[in-house]
Amino acid sequence: MEEIAQILQSYFTMRKIVIDRYINSFDKNIPTKKIDFIRNYRRKKVSLFKISEINQLAAEFGIGNSSGNLMPHLTLYINLLPVHYQEVLFKAANLDKRKLLRRINDYNVWKIEELQLIYNSCIIHKMVSNS
């Protein structure tokens, strides 16, 4: 679970930097190549950014995104956990095997809220197991 928490923490940090820079680009006119069609919509609803869009923006802004590159493999990390830990994460994020399979096929299906719940569950589990 610690690896999952590290991946998610890195992703959240990169995501925040990318979104902050993206929003600031409206004022500073930082050029962006492929994302003009989503500018107005995403500016108002940053929670709807897909993982691939965050990765694309990170590349355009020259921000390293090794955590973004690991996001497609998040479901693999979850599947490799012992069943007990999987159940903890499933319960925390309201997931099941069917939903996880959908995320294996398309990692953009992950919602930021689900990722945050999984991360929180990993952190809580780590604190409980360390005490």
Other residues' Cβ atoms within 10 Å of the Cβ of residue 131: 5
pLDDT tens per residue across span 13-30: 999 998 888 777 665 555
Q: What is the pLDDT of residue 131?
A: 47
pLDDT band with cut points at 50, 70 and 90 for residue 118: very high
CA angle 52, 60, 24 (to 5 degrees): 100
Q: Which amino acid is at 85?
A: Y
* Domain positions in the chain: 2-68, 70-130
The whole-angstrom separation of Cα 106 and Cα 56 is 16
Q: Average per-residue pLDDT in the chain?
A: 83
pLDDT band with cut points at 50, 70 and 90 for residue 121: very high
pLDDT tens per residue across span 53-71: 888 888 888 887 666 678 8
pLDDT tens per residue across span 81-107: 999 999 999 999 999 999 999 999 999
